[in-house]
Structure 1
Amino acid sequence: MKHQAILSYDYHLWANNKFFGHLKELPDEIYSQEIESVFPSIAETLSHIYVTDTIWLGVILEDNFDQVRASGVKAAEATKGKNLEDLEDMFKELSERYKAFFNSEDDFDRPMVLEHPHYGRLETQLSNLVQQVVNHGTYHRGNLTAMIRQLGHPSVPTDYILYLYDKNAKN
């Protein structure tokens, strides 16, 4: 049976894919349309999720702080000017990197120690870091929902329970 951390990450992918699918059904211009919100556009919000997922993968892989920071800068540069389909492809490639790590990991409850120059030292478990990735995505998909509605369009529901229903229907 899959560890709960992997099941949670599967939900994260499902919810991201729901948003990409929904955004493709909406007028193209809303993707980069400026809006007064937490982020200046839907594109910027998706970029933020991607960059943060990239950073957390580095943390999970136990890269050092400078490597993690550099990967975030590189990811931010890579997302600039990308259209929706290109960014979706980048998300898919990143999810494959996560899945490769998950397939090689046999202990999601193993201890991990994070060292951050501003926040200090944190002793935690790998599963908590995966949960951070999922929670961060959920938070910003809420921003996306508000932004899409503010632009005059319906959003797409991505509640966890809907993921469970969808998963159950496919089994």
Structure 2
Amino acid sequence: MKKHHALQLYDYHVWANNKFFERLKELPRDIYDGEIQSVFSSVAKALDHIYTADTIWLGVMQEKSMDEIQASIAHAQEKTKDKSLEEMENLFQRLSGEYQKLLNNVSDLDKEISPVHPQFGRLDTHFSELVQHVVNHGTYHRGNLTAMIHQQGYSSVSNDYVYYLYEISSTK
């Protein structure tokens, strides 16, 4: 049976994040936490943002209350504050495990879901579209990471979706 596209997209998201962690571990430490003038003040801050956003959307997909989600934002920001590259990688791995648990237990990945945002109001959408949003958001900011690494004089890592597809097709 073919894997639901939302599951494959989330697998890509994890794969691409892992590619960045692998690359960052090859580079001098100051590439990760050194301050630069860019979209984010450091690569670490960009990773903090991706992690916090992923935490928010996990709560939305778990259909938590906005109060619970707001609390998770503060908690995520506290967890990521001043973390080393290896600590951030571990946080990302644990969070992806929480996503996997949720994704494996949702009986209908295309089910309707209607989160209510305090500023934007109610959104009638589908669970799979929220997964797509998490992936798109991560892809966007991995582009920022690529630019930030290049700005500091180093090559980044190829993490386009098609490279993921090639890699998984070669392991079948």
Bucket of the pairwise TM-score, normalised by the shorter protein? over 0.9
CA distance in 1, matches of 2:105, 2:96: 14
Partner of 2:63: 62
CA distance in 2, matches of 1:45, 1:107: 32
Q: How many residues align?
A: 171
Matched residue SS, 2:115: strand
Runs (5+) with no aligned partner, structure 1: none
2:169 alignment partner AA: N
Q: CA deviation at 1:155?
A: 0.5
Partner of 1:20: 21
Q: CA RMSD in A?
A: 0.6
Partner of 1:35: 36
1:149 alignment partner AA: H
Which whole-Å deviations, capped at 9, do the CAs of 1:18-41 have from their partners, x for residues lacking one? 000000000111111111111000
Q: CA deviation at 1:108?
A: 0.6
Partner of 1:98: 99
1:142 alignment partner AA: G
1:61 alignment partner AA: Q
Partner of 2:149: 148
1:165 alignment partner AA: Y
CA distance in 1, matches of 2:117, 2:48: 23
Q: CA deviation at 1:2?
A: 1.6
Partner of 1:88: 89
CA distance in 2, matches of 1:114, 1:101: 17
Q: CA deviation at 1:146?
A: 0.2
CA distance in 2, matches of 1:83, 1:74: 17
TM-score for both structures, normalised by structure 1 = 0.99
What stretches of structure 1 move > 6 A for 4+ residues in a row? none
Aligned residues with identical type, % of pairs: 54
CA distance in 1, matches of 2:24, 2:171: 23
2:115 alignment partner AA: L
Matched residue SS, 2:124: strand
Partner of 1:72: 73
Runs (5+) with no aligned partner, structure 2: none
